[in-house]
Amino acid sequence: MAQNERSLVIIKPDAVQRGLIGEILARYEQRGLRIAALKLELITREIAERHYGEHKDKPFFAGLVEFITSAPSVLMVLEGPEAIRIIRDTNGDTKPAQALPGTIRADFGLTIDRNLVHASDSIESAADEVANFFGDGSIIDYTRAIDSWINGD
């Protein structure tokens, strides 16, 4: 059986402004992922700079921070077997023109600057990112009646 993982997902300001929250959220749920935390928030500059800290010395850093703090985002923690890979496959390539048809970015995105969603890329980054956005302990552990049908437990 695959390892249960936790990942941060951000539905970015472009997707929120375009009214795509429900469509994007539905895709994750349809894959069988469980929502452990969910909130609509205007990300602060401090949290954004910490989130994008690995890019601090790159020329696009200021633009990343400016964009993610420009309007509300939906922040969530998703869980499930191999959640990190499944979420990233569901999102598609960061360059929407190169994303596979049927992925979020291929279906709704046009440019790398407005690629709609962010997801953790490893178990380690997921732990850091979840702590950055949900350090207040607002993650809920529960079992859905359908989990055994999804996970084979």
- Residues known to be catalytic: 118
Cβ(11)–Cβ(74) below 8 Å? yes
Q: 81 has which bridge partners?
A: 4
Q: What residues contact residue 42 under an 8 Å CB cut-off, 6+ apart? A: 69, 71, 72, 73
Terminal CA-to-CA distance of the chain, rounded, Å? Answer: 9
Strand-pair category, 73-81 with 4-11: antiparallel
Do residues 104 and 48 lie in contact, with contact meaning Cβ atoms separated by under 8 Å?
A: no
Q: What gap in Å lies between CA 87 and CA 49, rounded to an integer?
A: 23
Q: How many CA atoms lie within 13 A of 98 on its CB side?
A: 4
